[in-house]
Amino acid sequence: MNEILKELNRRFDHAALKADIDEKGIIKLCEEARQFDFFAVAVNPVWVKIAFQQLQGTDTKVVSTAGFPLGANRTDIKTAEAAKAVGDGASEIDMVANIGWIKSGEFSKVTQEISEIRKSIPFNVFLKVIIEASLLSLQEQINSTKSVINGGAQFVKTGTGFSGDVTVKQVGTLFKAANGQIEVKASGGIRTLGQCRKLLEAGASRLGSSSTIQIMHELQQVKTA
């Protein structure tokens, strides 16, 4: 087995972020996270309290969102979302940057918004910034990553999964632009073990997926082959 796939479970944010997820689905998500000892579950803000309760006593964290999935909320709304999610038990926040500002070249505004959200949550809560790389040019991806660094976040994240699938090229671009100052989370259409391997080799340190169980079963088959 490829060395990079060791402890793959601890790379995963096990996600349930679609609009039709219900409470039973969140409870199942947390049960699966306990079973496989995933690093985190990723849920929308309304489900944070339930996920936190379900995962107490485990090593699995709760990730919540701000400005998800479009990024077009006002900054004060994103800030309130992030702060309230942390109050409900979230250990990390995945915020969506203002994609319109990125496309307009308004990177000072992008940086300022990230900085305001970073200041609204405790220092030990990681902030990951989603830039929707599939909608951006190469230079926009690079400039966005610099804004994430300058705004004080810990991760740049490729996408929400709602605007296109992640590519190895995107991860490589963000990893190079990050220059070791922040980490890269890959997300969007990750469905196979082979994809995980390629994305990790390209520089991702975390993976977001709703196909996590399928991938873990594939990994188990590889281990027993």
Give me the active site residues, please.
94, 157, 185
Give helix 107-120 / helix 138-151 axis angle, nearest 10°. Answer: 40
Helix, strand, coil: what percent of the chain each, to 5?
50, 15, 30
Residues 6+ apart with CB under 8 A from 151: 110, 111, 112, 113, 114, 115, 117, 118, 129
Strand partners, 94: 65, 128
Q: Which of 33, 83, 85, 82 has the alpha carbon at shortest distance from 54?
A: 33
Give the tokens for residue 207.
């993976």
